[in-house]
Amino acid sequence: MTIALALIGLAAGILSGMFGIGGGLIIVPSLVAFLGFETKQAIGTSLGVIILPVGILGLLTHYKAGNVNFQASLLIAMGLFFGSVIGAKLVVGLPKDVVNKLFAVFLVLVAIKMFFGK
């Protein structure tokens, strides 16, 4: 579980560094699809990753409802920290049209996964 959480953070970090995306598109679906989190707990945990300044109010609301796993948030945040640097370095050297196509393919894959479920 610890390794899976760190890998989700790393993937979110790399894709965030490459495409500016993270929590809602990577972390939440990954926690639900691969680690069996309930959707509300995945959202609360994702907000725990981005606690300041963006997610504090949403995090507090989810915390009060019991939907935050702080240990998972910390492990994912560590992956994001390192992954965002890796992703940014990967994408900086790529031509604009390649980045656009990679992002489009990624979005289609996420949409297919969400549409057809597990």
31 phi, psi to nearest 5 deg: -65, -40
Whether residue 118 has pLDDT greater than 70? no
Counted residue by residue, the chain has a size of 118
Tokens 């992956």 correspond to: 79
Q: Are 12 and 85 in contact (CB under 8 A)?
A: no
> pLDDT digit string (tens) for 2-19?
999 999 888 888 887 777
Q: Which residue has the higher pLDDT, 48 or 78?
A: 78
> pLDDT digit string (tens) for 64-99?
999 999 999 899 889 888 988 898 888 888 888 888
CA-based nearest residue to 80, from 33, 38, 114, 46: 46
> pLDDT digit string (tens) for 54-63?
667 778 888 9
Whether residue 53 has pLDDT greater than 60? no
